[in-house]
Structure 1
């Protein structure tokens, strides 16, 4: 397998993952106050949504790259 075909497969897999999950979330620690040796931290949960059009675009682009890579071989 060459690099072009691997890139196409990766784009398809990432597009499918983004389409079915819709996004991901993570927890971030933030320092709210620091008074001398005492420190107050707050845990914030942030989420990132992946638009469906971006996921579908990645799938289509991956398919195009995969087909073009197969034609050059």
Structure 2
């Protein structure tokens, strides 16, 4: 399998996952205060939403790249 087909499949999979989940959440640890030997840290949950148009574009570009392959390069 060529690199173009691999990238096309990755784009399609990323687009489908973006449509299925709509985003992802991650935890960011921040250190707020250090008072001598005692430290206070706060874990914040952050979320990133993936717009539908980005997912659809990823699927479309991946489909075109998979269909045409390396014909344009």
- TM-score (normalizing by structure 1): 0.91
Provide the residue aligned with 2:11 in structure 1: 11
Which runs of 5 or more residues in structure 2 are unaligned? none
Provide the residue aligned with 1:23 in structure 2: 23
Q: Which runs of 4+ in 1 moved over 3 A?
A: none
Q: Any idea what the Cα deviations from partners look like across 1:23-72, whole Å, max 9, x if unmatched? A: 00011111111111110011100001000000000000000100111767
Q: Going by fraction, where is helix more abundant, 1 or 2? A: 1
Alignment length, in residue pairs? 72
What is the DSSP-based 3-state SS (H/G/I as helix, E as strand, rest coil) of the residue aligned with 1:25? strand
- TM-score (normalizing by structure 2): 0.91
